[in-house]
Structure 1
Amino acid sequence: MSLDIVRSGLLDGVEHGFFGRKGGVSKGAVAGLNCGLGSDDDPIAVETNRRLAADAILPGAPLASVYQIHSPTAVIVTEATSNDERPKADALVTDRKELLLGIVTADCAPVLLADVEAGVIAAAHAGWRGATAGVTDQAIAAMISLGAKVERIAAAVGPCIAKASYEVDHDFAERIMADDPENDRFLGEGPTGNPHFDLEAYVVARLAAAGVRRIQATGLDTYQLEDRYFSYRRATHRIEPTYGRQLSLIGLAS
Protein backbone atom coordinates (compact mmCIF):
# COMPACT_ATOMS: atom_id res chain seq x y z
CA MET A 1 0.00 0.00 0.00
CA SER A 2 1.50 3.31 -1.12
CA LEU A 3 1.78 6.00 1.56
CA ASP A 4 2.49 9.72 1.16
CA ILE A 5 5.55 10.48 3.29
CA VAL A 6 7.40 13.81 3.38
CA ARG A 7 10.92 13.72 4.76
CA SER A 8 13.45 16.43 5.59
CA GLY A 9 17.05 16.40 4.41
CA LEU A 10 18.02 18.04 7.70
CA LEU A 11 17.03 14.85 9.51
CA ASP A 12 19.18 12.50 7.45
CA GLY A 13 20.48 9.78 9.73
CA VAL A 14 17.22 9.63 11.68
CA GLU A 15 14.21 7.58 10.63
CA HIS A 16 11.27 9.96 10.25
CA GLY A 17 8.35 11.05 8.16
CA PHE A 18 5.36 13.38 7.92
CA PHE A 19 2.46 11.29 6.63
CA GLY A 20 -0.44 12.41 4.48
CA ARG A 21 -3.84 10.76 4.14
CA LYS A 22 -2.98 8.56 1.14
CA GLY A 23 -3.21 4.82 1.76
CA GLY A 24 -4.66 3.34 4.90
CA VAL A 25 -7.92 1.52 5.50
CA SER A 26 -10.28 4.16 6.88
CA LYS A 27 -13.50 4.94 5.01
CA GLY A 28 -15.98 7.78 4.66
CA ALA A 29 -15.17 11.30 5.85
CA VAL A 30 -11.82 10.08 7.20
CA ALA A 31 -10.95 7.90 4.22
CA GLY A 32 -7.28 7.03 3.99
CA LEU A 33 -4.54 6.89 6.59
CA ASN A 34 -6.47 8.38 9.51
CA CYS A 35 -4.26 7.97 12.58
CA GLY A 36 -6.32 9.92 15.11
CA LEU A 37 -7.35 7.90 18.13
CA GLY A 38 -9.85 10.62 19.03
CA SER A 39 -11.59 10.68 15.66
CA ASP A 40 -14.99 9.15 15.01
CA ASP A 41 -13.53 6.18 13.17
CA ASP A 42 -13.32 2.43 13.62
CA PRO A 43 -10.63 1.95 16.31
CA ILE A 44 -9.33 -1.13 14.51
CA ALA A 45 -8.90 0.89 11.31
CA VAL A 46 -7.02 3.61 13.21
CA GLU A 47 -4.69 1.09 14.85
CA THR A 48 -4.11 -0.57 11.48
CA ASN A 49 -3.22 2.79 9.94
CA ARG A 50 -0.86 3.66 12.78
CA ARG A 51 0.92 0.33 12.38
CA LEU A 52 1.18 0.78 8.61
CA ALA A 53 2.82 4.17 9.15
CA ALA A 54 5.13 2.91 11.91
CA ASP A 55 6.31 0.00 9.79
CA ALA A 56 7.10 2.39 6.94
CA ILE A 57 9.57 4.18 9.24
CA LEU A 58 10.94 1.54 11.67
CA PRO A 59 9.41 -1.87 10.96
CA GLY A 60 8.18 -3.56 14.11
CA ALA A 61 9.13 -0.69 16.44
CA PRO A 62 6.68 0.27 19.19
CA LEU A 63 4.98 3.65 18.83
CA ALA A 64 4.94 6.04 21.78
CA SER A 65 2.37 8.83 21.70
CA VAL A 66 0.64 11.28 24.02
CA TYR A 67 -2.91 12.41 24.76
CA GLN A 68 -2.64 15.81 23.12
CA ILE A 69 -4.15 18.75 25.01
CA HIS A 70 -2.78 21.84 23.19
CA SER A 71 -0.30 22.46 26.00
CA PRO A 72 3.41 23.38 26.17
CA THR A 73 4.16 20.17 28.08
CA ALA A 74 6.97 17.88 26.89
CA VAL A 75 7.56 14.44 28.40
CA ILE A 76 10.57 12.14 28.27
CA VAL A 77 9.54 8.61 27.29
CA THR A 78 11.44 5.32 27.45
CA GLU A 79 8.75 2.98 26.14
CA ALA A 80 5.38 2.89 24.44
CA THR A 81 2.34 2.73 26.71
CA SER A 82 -1.22 1.62 26.06
CA ASN A 83 -3.55 4.21 24.59
CA ASP A 84 -5.33 4.55 27.94
CA GLU A 85 -2.04 5.26 29.74
CA ARG A 86 -0.69 7.91 27.40
CA PRO A 87 0.55 10.98 29.27
CA LYS A 88 -1.27 14.26 28.69
CA ALA A 89 1.28 16.35 26.83
CA ASP A 90 2.12 17.73 23.40
CA ALA A 91 5.74 16.73 22.90
CA LEU A 92 7.72 13.55 23.41
CA VAL A 93 11.48 13.20 23.82
CA THR A 94 13.67 10.10 24.00
CA ASP A 95 17.19 8.75 23.66
CA ARG A 96 16.03 5.15 23.23
CA LYS A 97 16.68 3.32 19.99
CA GLU A 98 13.98 1.39 18.16
CA LEU A 99 11.23 3.50 19.73
CA LEU A 100 9.06 5.66 17.51
CA LEU A 101 7.70 8.99 18.72
CA GLY A 102 4.44 10.05 17.12
CA ILE A 103 2.11 13.02 17.18
CA VAL A 104 -1.07 13.65 15.18
CA THR A 105 -2.20 16.87 13.55
CA ALA A 106 -5.00 18.21 11.37
CA ASP A 107 -3.84 21.81 10.70
CA CYS A 108 -1.53 22.26 13.70
CA ALA A 109 2.20 22.13 13.01
CA PRO A 110 4.05 18.85 13.58
CA VAL A 111 7.68 19.39 14.56
CA LEU A 112 10.37 16.70 14.49
CA LEU A 113 13.74 17.39 16.12
CA ALA A 114 17.01 15.48 16.42
CA ASP A 115 20.54 15.76 17.74
CA VAL A 116 22.05 12.88 15.82
CA GLU A 117 25.39 13.01 17.64
CA ALA A 118 23.75 12.74 21.06
CA GLY A 119 21.13 10.26 19.87
CA VAL A 120 18.24 12.36 21.19
CA ILE A 121 15.00 13.01 19.30
CA ALA A 122 11.67 14.73 19.85
CA ALA A 123 8.25 15.14 18.26
CA ALA A 124 6.01 18.11 19.07
CA HIS A 125 2.42 19.09 18.31
CA ALA A 126 2.38 22.87 17.87
CA GLY A 127 -1.05 24.38 17.48
CA TRP A 128 -1.32 28.07 18.19
CA ARG A 129 -1.94 27.44 21.90
CA GLY A 130 1.01 25.13 22.37
CA ALA A 131 3.26 27.11 20.05
CA THR A 132 2.70 30.43 21.79
CA ALA A 133 2.97 28.78 25.22
CA GLY A 134 6.36 27.29 24.30
CA VAL A 135 5.91 23.61 23.45
CA THR A 136 9.00 23.63 21.23
CA ASP A 137 10.99 25.36 23.97
CA GLN A 138 10.05 22.64 26.45
CA ALA A 139 10.86 19.91 23.93
CA ILE A 140 14.33 21.41 23.39
CA ALA A 141 14.89 21.73 27.14
CA ALA A 142 13.98 18.06 27.61
CA MET A 143 16.36 17.09 24.79
CA ILE A 144 19.18 19.04 26.45
CA SER A 145 18.48 17.22 29.73
CA LEU A 146 19.24 13.97 27.89
CA GLY A 147 22.54 15.23 26.52
CA ALA A 148 21.58 17.10 23.36
CA LYS A 149 23.16 20.44 22.52
CA VAL A 150 20.91 23.07 21.04
CA GLU A 151 23.46 24.08 18.41
CA ARG A 152 23.43 20.50 17.07
CA ILE A 153 19.65 20.12 16.94
CA ALA A 154 17.99 20.02 13.54
CA ALA A 155 14.25 20.66 13.29
CA ALA A 156 11.68 20.05 10.58
CA VAL A 157 8.22 21.63 10.59
CA GLY A 158 5.72 19.52 8.70
CA PRO A 159 2.53 20.25 6.78
CA CYS A 160 0.17 22.62 8.60
CA ILE A 161 -2.41 25.27 7.85
CA ALA A 162 -0.87 28.14 5.90
CA LYS A 163 -1.30 31.85 6.52
CA ALA A 164 -3.54 32.28 3.48
CA SER A 165 -5.97 29.72 4.93
CA TYR A 166 -5.74 30.66 8.59
CA GLU A 167 -8.14 33.48 9.42
CA VAL A 168 -8.17 34.45 13.10
CA ASP A 169 -10.16 36.99 15.09
CA HIS A 170 -8.96 40.38 16.26
CA ASP A 171 -8.81 39.19 19.87
CA PHE A 172 -6.26 36.55 18.89
CA ALA A 173 -4.20 39.13 17.02
CA GLU A 174 -4.24 41.44 20.03
CA ARG A 175 -3.20 38.64 22.40
CA ILE A 176 -0.25 37.55 20.31
CA MET A 177 0.83 41.15 19.86
CA ALA A 178 0.62 41.62 23.62
CA ASP A 179 3.02 38.68 24.01
CA ASP A 180 5.55 40.39 21.75
CA PRO A 181 4.97 43.39 19.46
CA GLU A 182 7.31 41.78 16.93
CA ASN A 183 4.69 39.08 16.39
CA ASP A 184 3.12 41.56 14.01
CA ARG A 185 5.31 39.96 11.33
CA PHE A 186 3.23 36.77 11.54
CA LEU A 187 -0.08 38.58 11.00
CA GLY A 188 -1.62 39.96 7.85
CA GLU A 189 -5.00 41.17 6.67
CA GLY A 190 -7.13 38.66 4.80
CA PRO A 191 -9.66 39.29 2.03
CA THR A 192 -12.50 39.77 4.54
CA GLY A 193 -10.54 42.31 6.57
CA ASN A 194 -9.89 39.86 9.41
CA PRO A 195 -6.32 39.01 10.38
CA HIS A 196 -4.55 35.87 9.19
CA PHE A 197 -1.83 34.09 11.19
CA ASP A 198 1.31 32.42 9.84
CA LEU A 199 1.62 29.46 12.21
CA GLU A 200 4.48 27.84 10.29
CA ALA A 201 6.63 30.99 10.32
CA TYR A 202 5.86 31.52 14.01
CA VAL A 203 7.00 28.01 14.91
CA VAL A 204 10.18 28.42 12.85
CA ALA A 205 10.90 31.70 14.65
CA ARG A 206 10.37 30.11 18.08
CA LEU A 207 12.81 27.35 17.19
CA ALA A 208 15.38 29.88 16.00
CA ALA A 209 14.92 32.02 19.11
CA ALA A 210 15.62 28.93 21.22
CA GLY A 211 18.98 28.52 19.48
CA VAL A 212 18.18 25.93 16.81
CA ARG A 213 20.34 26.74 13.81
CA ARG A 214 19.09 24.25 11.23
CA ILE A 215 15.36 24.46 10.54
CA GLN A 216 13.34 23.39 7.53
CA ALA A 217 9.63 23.90 6.88
CA THR A 218 7.70 21.99 4.24
CA GLY A 219 5.44 24.87 3.21
CA LEU A 220 2.53 22.49 2.60
CA ASP A 221 -0.97 23.79 3.43
CA THR A 222 -3.18 21.12 5.00
CA TYR A 223 -6.32 23.19 4.38
CA GLN A 224 -5.83 23.63 0.64
CA LEU A 225 -4.31 20.24 -0.18
CA GLU A 226 -7.51 18.25 0.32
CA ASP A 227 -6.31 15.17 -1.54
CA ARG A 228 -3.17 14.93 0.59
CA TYR A 229 -4.10 16.06 4.10
CA PHE A 230 -6.83 16.06 6.69
CA SER A 231 -7.87 19.50 7.97
CA TYR A 232 -9.91 20.33 11.04
CA ARG A 233 -10.76 23.79 9.74
CA ARG A 234 -11.80 22.53 6.32
CA ALA A 235 -14.03 19.89 7.91
CA THR A 236 -15.55 22.54 10.20
CA HIS A 237 -16.25 24.91 7.33
CA ARG A 238 -17.98 22.11 5.45
CA ILE A 239 -19.92 21.00 8.55
CA GLU A 240 -18.57 17.48 8.18
CA PRO A 241 -19.33 15.01 11.00
CA THR A 242 -15.70 14.35 11.90
CA TYR A 243 -12.15 14.84 10.66
CA GLY A 244 -9.06 12.69 10.32
CA ARG A 245 -5.57 13.25 11.66
CA GLN A 246 -2.23 12.65 10.00
CA LEU A 247 0.69 11.14 11.84
CA SER A 248 4.28 12.37 12.09
CA LEU A 249 6.96 9.96 13.30
CA ILE A 250 10.61 9.97 14.30
CA GLY A 251 12.82 7.19 15.63
CA LEU A 252 16.43 6.06 16.10
CA ALA A 253 17.45 2.84 14.41
CA SER A 254 19.84 0.49 16.18
Structure 2
Amino acid sequence: MLTPSWQWQNWRGLPYLTCSLLADWQHGFFTQQFDSLSPQQLTEILQPEATAYRLKQVHGNAVLTPTEIETEIASETEEIYAPGDGIITTKPLESVWVASADCTPVLIADRVTGKVAAVHAGWRGTAQKIVPVAIARFLSLGSSLDDLLVAMGPAIAPEVYQVSETVAAEVSASIIPQTDANDKEKMLIQLAELPNSPLFPDPQPGKVKIDVRRFNQIQLEQLGLRNEQVAIAPFCTYQQPEHFFSYRRSKQKKIQWSGIISK
Protein backbone atom coordinates (compact mmCIF):
# COMPACT_ATOMS: atom_id res chain seq x y z
CA MET A 1 0.00 0.00 0.00
CA LEU A 2 1.28 3.48 -0.89
CA THR A 3 2.01 6.03 1.81
CA PRO A 4 -1.25 7.93 2.43
CA SER A 5 -1.45 11.47 1.08
CA TRP A 6 -3.72 14.41 1.79
CA GLN A 7 -5.43 16.45 -0.91
CA TRP A 8 -7.07 19.86 -0.89
CA GLN A 9 -10.48 19.75 -2.56
CA ASN A 10 -12.60 22.68 -3.63
CA TRP A 11 -16.33 23.28 -3.42
CA ARG A 12 -17.56 26.61 -4.78
CA GLY A 13 -14.18 28.14 -4.01
CA LEU A 14 -14.05 26.77 -0.46
CA PRO A 15 -11.26 24.34 0.58
CA TYR A 16 -11.58 21.04 2.41
CA LEU A 17 -9.31 18.02 2.88
CA THR A 18 -9.52 14.40 1.85
CA CYS A 19 -7.16 11.52 2.53
CA SER A 20 -6.02 9.00 -0.10
CA LEU A 21 -6.42 6.20 2.45
CA LEU A 22 -10.18 6.82 2.31
CA ALA A 23 -10.38 7.43 -1.44
CA ASP A 24 -13.10 4.78 -1.86
CA TRP A 25 -15.47 6.70 0.44
CA GLN A 26 -17.04 10.11 0.12
CA HIS A 27 -15.56 12.05 3.01
CA GLY A 28 -14.10 15.37 4.02
CA PHE A 29 -12.25 17.19 6.78
CA PHE A 30 -13.91 20.57 6.31
CA THR A 31 -12.31 23.92 7.08
CA GLN A 32 -13.61 26.96 8.94
CA GLN A 33 -14.80 28.33 5.61
CA PHE A 34 -17.74 25.89 5.88
CA ASP A 35 -18.77 26.96 9.40
CA SER A 36 -22.22 28.12 8.30
CA LEU A 37 -23.14 24.67 6.94
CA SER A 38 -24.67 21.85 8.99
CA PRO A 39 -23.68 18.16 8.68
CA GLN A 40 -26.79 17.59 6.57
CA GLN A 41 -25.79 20.39 4.21
CA LEU A 42 -22.23 19.07 4.06
CA THR A 43 -23.60 15.61 3.32
CA GLU A 44 -25.46 17.05 0.33
CA ILE A 45 -22.09 18.23 -1.02
CA LEU A 46 -20.67 14.71 -0.78
CA GLN A 47 -23.70 12.46 -1.41
CA PRO A 48 -27.21 13.97 -1.51
CA GLU A 49 -28.90 10.60 -0.98
CA ALA A 50 -27.20 9.93 2.36
CA THR A 51 -28.69 10.61 5.82
CA ALA A 52 -26.56 12.65 8.23
CA TYR A 53 -25.95 11.82 11.90
CA ARG A 54 -24.18 13.83 14.58
CA LEU A 55 -23.97 13.86 18.38
CA LYS A 56 -23.88 16.13 21.38
CA GLN A 57 -20.16 15.71 22.02
CA VAL A 58 -19.23 15.30 25.68
CA HIS A 59 -15.51 14.36 25.65
CA GLY A 60 -16.28 10.75 26.56
CA ASN A 61 -15.82 7.43 24.79
CA ALA A 62 -19.34 6.42 23.75
CA VAL A 63 -19.55 5.22 20.13
CA LEU A 64 -23.14 4.83 18.89
CA THR A 65 -24.88 3.49 15.80
CA PRO A 66 -27.52 5.62 14.02
CA THR A 67 -30.21 3.32 15.45
CA GLU A 68 -28.88 3.86 18.97
CA ILE A 69 -28.81 7.61 18.36
CA GLU A 70 -32.45 7.61 17.27
CA THR A 71 -33.46 5.48 20.27
CA GLU A 72 -31.59 7.78 22.65
CA ILE A 73 -33.22 10.89 21.22
CA ALA A 74 -36.66 9.30 21.37
CA SER A 75 -36.19 8.53 25.07
CA GLU A 76 -35.08 12.10 25.86
CA THR A 77 -37.86 14.35 24.61
CA GLU A 78 -35.96 17.58 25.33
CA GLU A 79 -32.70 16.51 23.65
CA ILE A 80 -32.10 17.12 19.95
CA TYR A 81 -28.85 15.13 19.87
CA ALA A 82 -27.74 12.01 21.73
CA PRO A 83 -24.61 12.39 23.89
CA GLY A 84 -21.49 10.67 22.61
CA ASP A 85 -18.24 11.18 20.72
CA GLY A 86 -18.30 8.56 18.01
CA ILE A 87 -20.74 7.19 15.43
CA ILE A 88 -20.40 3.91 13.52
CA THR A 89 -22.65 3.00 10.59
CA THR A 90 -24.54 -0.24 10.11
CA LYS A 91 -26.18 0.46 6.72
CA PRO A 92 -25.20 2.02 3.37
CA LEU A 93 -25.53 5.76 2.80
CA GLU A 94 -25.23 6.73 6.46
CA SER A 95 -23.26 9.95 6.81
CA VAL A 96 -21.51 10.37 10.18
CA TRP A 97 -19.99 13.58 11.51
CA VAL A 98 -17.90 14.97 14.37
CA ALA A 99 -17.03 18.55 15.22
CA SER A 100 -13.59 19.68 16.34
CA ALA A 101 -11.43 22.74 16.87
CA ASP A 102 -8.17 21.51 18.41
CA CYS A 103 -9.26 17.94 19.18
CA THR A 104 -8.59 15.18 16.66
CA PRO A 105 -11.29 14.19 14.17
CA VAL A 106 -10.84 10.52 13.27
CA LEU A 107 -12.53 8.86 10.29
CA ILE A 108 -12.42 5.05 10.09
CA ALA A 109 -13.49 2.76 7.25
CA ASP A 110 -13.73 -0.96 6.58
CA ARG A 111 -12.58 -1.71 3.04
CA VAL A 112 -14.55 -4.98 2.93
CA THR A 113 -17.90 -4.17 4.54
CA GLY A 114 -17.99 -0.47 3.58
CA LYS A 115 -18.92 0.53 7.15
CA VAL A 116 -17.45 3.77 8.50
CA ALA A 117 -17.13 5.71 11.74
CA ALA A 118 -16.44 9.28 12.79
CA VAL A 119 -14.79 9.87 16.17
CA HIS A 120 -14.00 12.98 18.22
CA ALA A 121 -10.77 12.36 20.15
CA GLY A 122 -9.60 15.14 22.44
CA TRP A 123 -7.23 14.39 25.28
CA ARG A 124 -10.09 13.23 27.51
CA GLY A 125 -11.50 10.89 24.89
CA THR A 126 -8.01 9.64 24.09
CA ALA A 127 -7.39 8.93 27.77
CA GLN A 128 -10.60 6.87 27.68
CA LYS A 129 -9.44 5.07 24.49
CA ILE A 130 -12.32 6.19 22.32
CA VAL A 131 -10.62 5.11 19.09
CA PRO A 132 -9.99 1.55 20.38
CA VAL A 133 -13.64 1.54 21.54
CA ALA A 134 -14.66 2.40 17.96
CA ILE A 135 -12.39 -0.36 16.61
CA ALA A 136 -14.02 -2.82 19.04
CA ARG A 137 -17.43 -1.83 17.70
CA PHE A 138 -16.25 -2.55 14.15
CA LEU A 139 -15.07 -5.99 15.24
CA SER A 140 -18.38 -6.66 17.00
CA LEU A 141 -20.16 -5.86 13.71
CA GLY A 142 -18.09 -8.40 11.77
CA SER A 143 -15.06 -6.39 10.66
CA SER A 144 -11.52 -7.74 10.62
CA LEU A 145 -8.67 -5.67 12.03
CA ASP A 146 -6.66 -5.99 8.81
CA ASP A 147 -9.46 -4.36 6.81
CA LEU A 148 -9.71 -1.14 8.83
CA LEU A 149 -8.33 2.20 7.66
CA VAL A 150 -7.92 5.18 9.99
CA ALA A 151 -7.38 8.84 9.07
CA MET A 152 -6.72 11.45 11.76
CA GLY A 153 -7.50 14.94 10.58
CA PRO A 154 -6.20 18.41 11.45
CA ALA A 155 -5.68 19.00 15.18
CA ILE A 156 -3.44 20.99 17.48
CA ALA A 157 0.23 20.03 17.06
CA PRO A 158 2.44 19.11 20.02
CA GLU A 159 4.72 22.09 19.49
CA VAL A 160 1.93 24.37 20.70
CA TYR A 161 -0.15 22.05 22.90
CA GLN A 162 0.89 22.70 26.48
CA VAL A 163 -0.86 20.72 29.23
CA SER A 164 -0.25 19.98 32.88
CA GLU A 165 1.86 16.98 33.88
CA THR A 166 -1.32 15.59 35.48
CA VAL A 167 -3.16 15.67 32.15
CA ALA A 168 -0.18 14.11 30.38
CA ALA A 169 -0.07 11.31 32.95
CA GLU A 170 -3.80 10.68 32.58
CA VAL A 171 -3.47 10.26 28.83
CA SER A 172 -0.29 8.22 29.27
CA ALA A 173 -2.16 5.64 31.32
CA SER A 174 -3.97 4.69 28.09
CA ILE A 175 -0.78 3.30 26.55
CA ILE A 176 1.55 2.47 29.47
CA PRO A 177 0.69 -0.48 31.73
CA GLN A 178 1.07 0.95 35.20
CA THR A 179 0.61 -0.83 38.50
CA ASP A 180 0.41 2.50 40.33
CA ALA A 181 -1.58 4.91 38.20
CA ASN A 182 -0.90 7.69 40.71
CA ASP A 183 2.88 7.53 40.15
CA LYS A 184 2.87 10.47 37.75
CA GLU A 185 6.63 10.95 37.67
CA LYS A 186 7.35 7.32 36.82
CA MET A 187 4.69 7.31 34.12
CA LEU A 188 6.08 10.43 32.43
CA ILE A 189 9.59 8.96 32.48
CA GLN A 190 8.30 5.81 30.80
CA LEU A 191 6.41 7.91 28.27
CA ALA A 192 9.49 9.96 27.41
CA GLU A 193 11.44 6.76 26.76
CA LEU A 194 9.01 5.49 24.11
CA PRO A 195 10.14 5.53 20.45
CA ASN A 196 8.74 8.64 18.78
CA SER A 197 7.35 9.68 22.14
CA PRO A 198 4.17 11.78 22.25
CA LEU A 199 5.67 13.74 25.18
CA PHE A 200 7.62 16.94 24.62
CA PRO A 201 9.40 19.13 27.21
CA ASP A 202 8.14 22.55 28.20
CA PRO A 203 10.13 25.27 30.00
CA GLN A 204 7.28 26.04 32.41
CA PRO A 205 7.42 24.01 35.65
CA GLY A 206 4.67 21.41 35.94
CA LYS A 207 3.87 21.68 32.23
CA VAL A 208 4.67 19.52 29.20
CA LYS A 209 3.56 19.35 25.59
CA ILE A 210 1.81 16.31 24.14
CA ASP A 211 0.91 14.88 20.73
CA VAL A 212 -2.65 13.57 21.03
CA ARG A 213 -2.65 12.08 17.54
CA ARG A 214 0.51 10.12 18.36
CA PHE A 215 -1.20 8.76 21.50
CA ASN A 216 -4.03 7.51 19.31
CA GLN A 217 -1.57 6.06 16.82
CA ILE A 218 0.17 4.12 19.62
CA GLN A 219 -3.19 2.82 20.85
CA LEU A 220 -3.86 1.53 17.34
CA GLU A 221 -0.40 -0.03 17.13
CA GLN A 222 -1.07 -1.82 20.40
CA LEU A 223 -4.28 -3.22 18.90
CA GLY A 224 -2.31 -4.59 15.98
CA LEU A 225 -2.98 -2.08 13.20
CA ARG A 226 -0.05 -1.59 10.83
CA ASN A 227 1.44 1.80 9.97
CA GLU A 228 0.04 1.66 6.44
CA GLN A 229 -3.50 1.42 7.87
CA VAL A 230 -3.19 4.80 9.60
CA ALA A 231 -2.81 8.32 8.18
CA ILE A 232 -2.17 11.51 10.16
CA ALA A 233 -2.85 14.91 8.61
CA PRO A 234 0.18 17.24 8.57
CA PHE A 235 -1.94 20.23 9.59
CA CYS A 236 -2.22 22.13 12.88
CA THR A 237 -5.44 23.91 13.80
CA TYR A 238 -3.61 26.36 16.07
CA GLN A 239 -0.86 27.33 13.63
CA GLN A 240 -2.97 27.56 10.47
CA PRO A 241 -5.67 30.18 11.21
CA GLU A 242 -6.33 30.68 7.50
CA HIS A 243 -8.00 27.25 7.41
CA PHE A 244 -8.97 26.16 10.91
CA PHE A 245 -10.63 27.34 14.10
CA SER A 246 -8.61 26.79 17.27
CA TYR A 247 -10.10 27.22 20.72
CA ARG A 248 -6.59 27.47 22.19
CA ARG A 249 -5.78 30.31 19.83
CA SER A 250 -9.00 32.34 19.84
CA LYS A 251 -10.92 31.13 22.95
CA GLN A 252 -14.02 31.15 20.72
CA LYS A 253 -16.33 28.14 20.60
CA LYS A 254 -16.21 27.64 16.85
CA ILE A 255 -15.72 24.32 15.08
CA GLN A 256 -15.12 22.57 11.80
CA TRP A 257 -16.85 19.35 10.74
CA SER A 258 -15.37 16.07 9.54
CA GLY A 259 -17.52 13.34 8.03
CA ILE A 260 -17.64 10.17 5.98
CA ILE A 261 -20.40 8.18 4.24
CA SER A 262 -20.84 4.40 4.32
CA LYS A 263 -20.85 2.49 1.04
Q: TM (normalized to structure 2)?
A: 0.79
Distance 1:61 1:79 in 2: 18
Aligned to 1:66: 55
Shift of 1:85: 3.8
TM-superposition CA deviations, 1:225-254 (whole Å, max 9, x none): 001001111112xxxxx331100001024x
TM-superposition CA deviations, 1:40-91 (whole Å, max 9, x none): xxxxx4xx44344222221242210111110011112249757934221111
Matched letter for residue 70 of structure 1: H
Match of 2:256 among 232, 242, 246: 246
In structure 2, stretches of 5+ residues that fail to align are: 1-11, 177-186
Matched letter for residue 17 of structure 2: V
Tell me, what secondary structure is at the counterpart of 2:162?
coil
In structure 1, stretches of 5+ residues that fail to align are: 23-32, 35-44, 237-241
Distance 2:114 2:59 in 1: 27
CA 1:140–1:150: 2 relative to 1, 3 Å: same
Distance 2:51 2:123 in 1: 29
Aligned to 2:191: 183
Matched letter for residue 246 of structure 1: Q
Count of aligned pairs between the two proteins: 226
Aligned to 2:16: 5
CA RMSD, aligned part only?
2.1
Q: 1:73-88, aligned counterparts within 5 Å?
A: 73-78=62-67, 84-88=79-83
Distance 2:171 2:258 in 1: 27
Aligned to 2:9: none
Matched letter for residue 214 of structure 2: A
TM-superposition CA deviations, 1:189-210 (whole Å, max 9, x none): 1354531011111111112222
Match of 2:111 among 82, 92, 116: 116
Aligned to 2:28: 17
Matched letter for residue 236 of structure 2: D
Distance 2:172 2:133 in 1: 22
TM-superposition CA deviations, 1:101-142 (whole Å, max 9, x none): 000001000000011211221110000000111101111111
Residues 76 and 142, structure 1, Cα contact 8 Å, conserved in 2:
no
Residues 14 and 116, structure 1, Cα contact 8 Å, conserved in 2:
no
Is 2:142 the counterpart of 1:147? yes
Tell me, what secondary structure is at the counterpart of 2:167?
helix
Q: TM (normalized to structure 1)?
A: 0.82
Match of 2:243 among 223, 228, 233: 228
Distance 1:200 1:16 in 2: 19
CA 1:158–1:183: 2 relative to 1, 3 Å: same
Larger mean CA deviation between 165-174 and 220-229 belongs to 165-174
Shift of 1:176: 3.7
Distance 1:234 1:201 in 2: 21
Larger mean CA deviation between 134-143 and 173-182 belongs to 173-182
Shift of 1:178: 5.1
Matched letter for residue 183 of structure 1: L
Shift of 1:92: 0.6
Matched letter for residue 115 of structure 1: D
Tell me, what secondary structure is at the counterpart of 2:105?
strand
